[in-house]
Amino acid sequence: MKNFFLIALFLVCWVATADIQAAENGPAAIVTAEELKALLDAGGSGCVLVDARTPEEYQEVHIRGAISIPVNNFEESRNLLPEDRTARLIFYCNGVKCGKSGLAAQKAAEAGYTNVAVFAAGMPVWEEKGYPISAGENYQKPLETAKLSPTELHDLLAANGNGITVVDVRDPQEFQAGHIPGAINIPLEVFATQSGILDKGKRIVVYCNSGSRSYAAYRKLMQLSYKNIFQSLFFDWKQQGLPVETGSGGKS
């Protein structure tokens, strides 16, 4: 009898664990950038690509061929989806930490759609790979970055290094030749793809030599919904005679 109850308890826990995992995984499959690109190049194969971001973000830039159904207005805009509940729907937003695409996919599943997927990497990675986009008149409109002087950055690191992540967006060879002590290296060409390692709860400081690459990284962080971000320059850091570290070390 004791063994019976143990087996029953195990089965209950196993089912409960499976339900929790299913809830965490959500209703949608994950589509990579390469898979989505191949699908669109083949004519879409009957799928509907849905931008779950705000109308303003969609108007600024979106994946070519996507329709706009903001997650916050999903019910009002659901009539844009096909009546066929077996149609393939692919949702995207501003990357893995955005959450809008997953929520929209969940709403679609709750509405009865059975073939729902998410392009989790989202708009920043799609742009980074140079895949087709439709851009509005405000696309790449210049923005004013929040800048930190070398002295300000040095003092912040000394006072609260654990609350700051400094990111060198130059090439690995440049990083190894010399970088700000404690910085991590995420080259610009893969910045959006690898940005998931960055903690949104920390202050993020991006830098390069002259500002162009860190400016682009700053813009990508804004697209990925990071709020506490700053830009600095390694050239100025060296001009101030501040410490420089070599090799591939760094912290996360």
Boundary (domain end) residue, out of 86, 101, 135: 135
pLDDT of 12 > 70? The answer is: no
pLDDT of 143 reads 86
Q: Write the pLDDT tens digit of every residue in 152-181.
A: 999 999 998 789 999 999 999 999 999 999
Q: Write the pLDDT tens digit of every residue in 120-142.
A: 999 999 999 999 999 998 888 88
- What pTM did the predictor assign? 0.74
pLDDT of 249 reads 66
> Is residue 131 located within the same domain as residue 31?
yes
Boundary (domain end) residue, out of 71, 102, 135: 135
Q: Which pLDDT band holds residue 244 (cuts at 50, 70, 90)?
A: very high
Domain boundaries, position 58? 27-135
In the Cβ-directed half-sphere of 57, how many Cα atoms lie within 13 Å? 23
Q: Could you tell me if 203 and 228 are in contact, meaning their C-beta atoms sit under 8 angstroms apart?
A: yes
Q: Which of 220, 29, 1 is nearest to 124 (CA)?
A: 220
Distance between CA atoms of 125 and 192, rounded to whole angstroms? Answer: 5
Residue 199 token pair: 């903690």
pLDDT of 250 > 60? The answer is: no
Whole-Å CA distances, 250 to 100, 104, 173, 176, 201: 32, 37, 14, 10, 19
Domain CATH for 131: 3.40.250.10
> Is residue 67 located within the same domain as residue 126?
yes
Mean pLDDT, the chain, rounded, equals 87
Burial of 168 (0-12, 13-18, 19+ CB in 10 A): buried
pLDDT of 139 reads 87
pLDDT of 10 > 80? The answer is: no
Boundary (domain end) residue, out of 111, 135, 159: 135
> Is residue 156 located within the same domain as residue 199?
yes
> Is residue 188 located within the same domain as residue 93?
no
Distance between CA atoms of 205 and 227, rounded to whole angstroms? Answer: 11
Considering the domain boundaries, does residue 232 fall inside one? yes
